[in-house]
Structure 1
Amino acid sequence: MSTMGELDSDFYQSNYTIDNQDQDYNAAAYGNPYGLREQHSMEPHPAAFIPPEMSASSGYTGQYFQPTYDSSYYSQSAYVDTFGEEPPLLEELGINFDHIWQKTLTVLNPLKPADGSIMTETDLAGPMLFCIALGATLLLAGKVQFGYVYGMSAIGCLGIHALLNLMSTSGVSYGCVASVLGYCLLPMVILSSCAIFFSLQGTIGTISAIIIIGWCSLSASKIFSSALTMEGQQLLVAYPCALLYGLFALLTVF
């Protein structure tokens, strides 16, 4: 009986379990013919993603990856925001109302000395405005002459540009010649405005046209002689200018 009791005690004190027996049986039946047991690690697997709530509650006192502000970098950066220092849009386009007004006053007063530094600028805003005004006043007088106005202006500027480059030592650009001749077209606009109200085909109209031609040619020659330092050559420059403005006078009178 003592022997049976010892066997019973040994049986109950063994590590045998039914789960292990089933696991061994399944391993042998489904691909583990040697009966090897799988060793399960008791260590927990690392989590693939830890929510910020859990990391905050875990007592983590480190610093997250956040950009730091470096004042020295921004103060010494090569980039400087110069948007407030940019010139106005009209100046970038070459439109300066102050210079336009000064050139207009110089043309209206042939006896006033011209400022050569201003007259050498290739400002075409005023000339385009006066050409459009001349065509518009001729249109109001019943004459559609926009093509003739632009065509004679371009050809006349080419001729006088070539002439001035031959006469002066410094030379002149085509834009400067077009600018000066366009501004000096203002008295012709006044003559064409008079043609709206009464006819110029008579003695009074002829005398008015001659006066306007002399006015335009003297203003243009004065500006060219002062800008190109052509002393004593104003009358020589005024003659071809008078021929050009005479064509515009013919369009206005007839």
Structure 2
Amino acid sequence: MSNVGQLETDFYQSNYTIDNQEQSYNDASAYGDLYGPGEQQASGQSQPTPLVPLEMLTTASYSGLLFQPASNSEYYSQSPYIDSFDEEPPLLEELGINFDHIWQKTLTVLNPMKPADGSIMNEMDLAGPVLFCVTLGATLLLAGKVQFGYVYGMSAIGCLGIHALLNLMSAAGVSYGCVASVLGYCLLPMVILSSCAIFCSLQGITGTLTALVFIGWCSLSASKIFISALDMKGQQLLIAYPCALLYGLFALLTVF
């Protein structure tokens, strides 16, 4: 039994004293001062935070209203995005629609003897050609002929053929959009012919001669524009012949 009592005394005996407990408390208070009062309050008992009036939270320099930010005019005046909006081109110019160029091209087609400006004619402007194609289909419709499919189909196939021919004849080459633009603008005399077919019949000698005149008008204007845009001097008749074949198909739709 003495051995058992001695074993229990040795087992429960410790070197921890009251002095060590006071030293650990002093160390804890020193760590609390090091990390600030927030740690002491977190380690101790939480105390209720008193309510602070809203007027004390607002600073004296802020003169605006709540939930309404003050306007900063200096930021918007110095922002590069505001200046970039002013420097952007108009929407019609971005879409490639220039009414001045459309008017100049229309006058060039109406006057076959007027010299064409190659810099303007070498643009892929499809606003005028689409307008003239729709107008041609509308005038044929008023004459009792629903030929929209033939107008669009012959226009696409004709542009492909003239595009291939011009690329073989010219050294510089030409794009499909430029060919479609020129042929579409030169369709304007056919629109005038189809407008005449609304009020009078063209099935006769007079109508046939009138159609031949308009075919020559369209082919002459188209060949003039092509030789000025592609610098193909002395080859106007070679270009006018396939153009006359193409516009002859539109004349057949108009007369018959």
Q: Which residue of 2 aligns with 1:207?
A: 209
For residue 98 of structure 1, the aligned residue among 97, 100, 104 is 100
Secondary structure of the residue aligned to 2:106 is helix
Decide which structure has the larger Cα Rg and report it. 1
Q: Matched residue of 1:200: which SS?
A: coil
- Equivalent position of 1:133 in the other structure: 135
CA distance in 1, matches of 2:202, 2:141: 15
The equivalent residue for 2:195 is 193
Residue in structure 1 matched with residue 183 of structure 2 by the alignment: 181
2:230 is matched with which residue?
A: 228
**TM-score for the superposition, normalised by structure 1:** 0.73
Q: SS where residue 82 of structure 1 aligns?
A: helix
Q: Identity of counterpart residues, as a percentage? A: 80
Structure 2 residue ranges without an equivalent (≥5) = 1-45, 63-68
Q: Does 1:109 align with 2:111?
A: yes
Cα deviation for residue 95 of structure 1 reads: 1.1
Amino acid at match of 1:149: V
Deviation larger for 47-56 or 215-224: 47-56
Task: Compute the displacement of 1:77 (Å).
Answer: 5.2
Q: Distance in 1 between matches of 2:123 and 2:250?
A: 24
The alignment's TM-score, normalised by the length of structure 2, stands at 0.73
Quick check: 2:76–2:82 contact (8 Å CA) kept in 1?
Answer: no
* Distance in 2 of aligned mates of 1:118 and 1:46: 82
How far, CA to CA, are the matches of 2:73 and 2:96 in structure 1?
42
For each residue in 1:51-110, what CA deviation from the matched residue of structure 2 results, as whole angstroms up to 9, or x when unmatched?
Answer: 234568xxxx9878x999795x77765544322332222222111111110000000000
Kept in 1, the 8 Å contact 2:201–2:207? The answer is: yes
Structure 2 equivalent of residue 19 of structure 1: none
> 3-state DSSP class of the match of 2:83?
coil
Map 1:153-168; keep pairs closer than 5 Å: 153-168=155-170
Greater fraction helix: 2
| Count of equivalent residues | 205
